[in-house]
């Protein structure tokens, strides 16, 4: 059976990673969470105390090694060999990730690594620019979206499950701010590839969405 590249892009908190993981498992493919890579860079920037300082951030890049490791809880991202998964899923790191992701040199640094990861195909990669920049030739491109209020509710739950005590209005503002930054930055702004299939999952259950996407995948590999 031929192996393909599945590119999943979309707004933050659309459930991209959930569906990407499920599809990768269904297909027997490798899953790559590119948001985790930007978050790992953001964490490094935070630790180095250079947030907001573009030149220092760029100077930090050659010192960073971003890899993935498989653990019982799934795939974890490592920063210079340290499993940093427990530190990268906070609102603070998410916001900083969105800021460092606007720097061209950071994008170039990570896009190169992402392209290498997809060389052998058989990969499901999610992010903001996978179908447009990283793999414009991907055989299957999905663009996930949902209403901002629905995404804020989902993010709220996720944060609560991690023991944080978020305020809904702040989470909604964060979702809207992040959408704005991700779609308005000069470098690879989030946009839908012309040949992407749009999936608005605001009113879909996870099962409905998965079976729809599995059909799209099956159609694609049998084409």
22 or 98: CB nearest ligand DC: 98
Q: Which of 5, 15, 129, 196 binds ligand DC (CB under 6 A)?
A: 129
Work out how close the CB of 78 gets to ligand DC at its nearest, in angstroms, rounded to a whole number: 16
The answer to whether residue 145 forms part of the interface with ligand DC (CB under 6 A) is no
The answer to whether residue 76 forms part of the interface with ligand DC (CB under 6 A) is no
For ligand DC (CB under 6 A), the number of binding residues is 14
Work out how close the CB of 12 gets to ligand DC at its nearest, in angstroms, rounded to a whole number: 4
CA atoms of 137 and 6, how far apart (whole Å): 10
- Please check whether residue 61 is in contact with residue 109, taking contact to mean a CB–CB distance below 8 angstroms: yes
By CB under 6 A, which span of 18-26, 46-54, 72-80, 124-132 interacts with ligand DC?
Answer: 124-132
Q: Which of 140, 182, 196, 213 binds ligand DC (CB under 6 A)?
A: 182
- Please check whether residue 164 is in contact with residue 81, taking contact to mean a CB–CB distance below 8 angstroms: no
Task: Find all residues with CB under 8 Å of 30, minimum gap 6, and list them.
Answer: 24, 117, 122, 123, 124
The phi and psi torsions of 31 (rounded to 5 degrees) equal: -105, 135
Q: Which of 8, 39, 118, 150 binds ligand DC (CB under 6 A)?
A: 39
- Please check whether residue 41 is in contact with residue 97, taking contact to mean a CB–CB distance below 8 angstroms: yes
29 or 38: CB nearest ligand DC: 38
Residue showing tokens 């969470």: 33
Strand partners, 199: 144
Tokens of 128: 């903001």
Window 3-32: residues binding ligand DC (CB under 6 A): 12
The phi and psi torsions of 79 (rounded to 5 degrees) equal: -115, 115
103 or 213: CB nearest ligand DC: 103
Residues lying near ligand DC in the complex (CB under 6 A): 12, 34-35, 38-39, 94, 97-98, 101, 127-129, 178, 182
């Amino acid at each position: 059976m031929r192996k393909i590249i599945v590119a999943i892009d979309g707004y933050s908190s659309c459930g991209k990673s959930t569906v990407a993981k499920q599809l990768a498992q269904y297909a027997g493919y490798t899953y790559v969470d590119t948001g985790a890579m930007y978050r790992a860079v953001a964490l490094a920037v935070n630790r180095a105390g250079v947030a907001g300082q573009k030149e220092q951030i760029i100077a930090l890049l050659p010192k960073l090694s971003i890899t993935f490791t498989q653990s019982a809880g799934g795939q974890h991202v490592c920063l210079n060999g340290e499993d940093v998964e427990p530190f990268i899923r906070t609102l603070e790191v998410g916001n900083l990730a969105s800021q460092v992701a606007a720097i061209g040199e950071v994008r170039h640094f990570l896009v190169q690594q992402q392209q290498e990861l997809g060389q052998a195909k058989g990969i499901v990669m999610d992010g903001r620019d996978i179908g447009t920049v990283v793999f414009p030739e991907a055989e299957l491109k999905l663009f996930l979206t949902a209403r901002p209020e629905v995404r804020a509710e989902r993010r709220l739950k996720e944060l609560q499950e991690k023991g944080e005590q978020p305020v809904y209005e702040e989470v909604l503002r964060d979702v809207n701010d992040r959408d704005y930054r991700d779609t308005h930055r000069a470098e690879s702004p989030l946009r839908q590839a012309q040949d992407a299939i749009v999936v608005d999952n605001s009113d879909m259950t996870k099962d409905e969405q998965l079976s729809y996407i599995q059909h799209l995948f099956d159609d694609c590999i049998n084409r």
